[in-house]
Amino acid sequence: MGISERMGDVLGHAVEAKLFREVQEHPLQVNHLAIIMDGNRRFAWKSKIATGIGHRIGKEKLERVLDWVLELNIPWFTVYALSTENLQRPQNELEVLFKLYDEGLRDIADDPRIHENKVRVHIIGRRELLPKYVNDAIDYAEAKTKDYADFCFTVCLAYGSREEMITAIQSIAKDHASGDLGLDEINQKVVSERLYTADMPDPDLVIRTSGEERISNFLLWQMAYSELYFTDVFWPSFQKKDLLKAIRTYQDRGRRFGE
C-alpha cells in the first residue's frame, strides 16, 4: 500500500469517527431503522462475478451492518431480504438465496453477539411460500432468541406489503361480519394490530441502496411518516460511513409527521 493510500485510509477513518460522534451526540436518535438491501446482482455483474457470489457478499454485509446497528444502540432493525415478487426469479438463483437464508439464520442464532446483546430474531412474510428447510431455520432462530427484548432484528422474507394489508383487511372484515368488531371501532390502531409488525414501532428511517428511488411494496402502511434515504451504493459495497451519513441526514431533517 502506497503513502497516498495509507493517508486516504487515515482520513477515511477520521471522517467516520467524526460522523459516529455526531450521530451519538445528537438529541434525535433512530429507534427503528429499516433497510431495503438492493444491488447484489448488479454488484456481481459490475464486478464480473457469479450472481450467487454477489448474494453471498450481500449476506456477509448484513452481518457487518447488524454489528454497526448494535454499536449505535438502535433497538429495532428491519431488512427487506426477499419480496413476493422476487419469487419469480430463476429457480437456480432462488435456490442460492434459500441456502443463504438457511445458513444465515442458523449462523445468527448461534452467534455469541446475538446472545450477548439479547437480540430477538423475527421473520415476517408468507412463510408458506418458502422451502421447509428455510422454515426450519426460521423456527430455530426465533426459538433460540424468543426471550430477548433488548434488540429486535426483523427479516422480511417472501414479504409484500399489499398482501400484508389484504390479510389485515380480511381479518377485520371477518370480525365485523361476526359482530365482534363494530364499524366505528375500525381505526388505525386496529389495522396496525393486524399487520405482521403488530408489536413493532413504525420505522423512523428507511434506507434503500443501489440508486433505485422507490419503496417496492415494503412496509407501505408503516412507512407513512418515515424519513427516506436513497444511496447509489450497491448493498455489498455499503459501508459504515454510508450508514452514518444516512442517520446524520435523518437527524438534520425536521420531522413534522404531516403537520
Catalytic status, residue 86: yes
Catalytic status, residue 117: no
Instruction: Kindly name the residue from 9, 31, 38, 184 that is annotated as catalytic.
Output: 38
CA–CA distance, 206 with 198 (Å, rounded to integer) = 18
Instruction: Kindly name the residue from 73, 86, 102, 180 that is annotated as catalytic.
Output: 86
Q: Which three cell numbers stand for residue 110?
A: 448461534
What residues are labeled active site?
38, 86
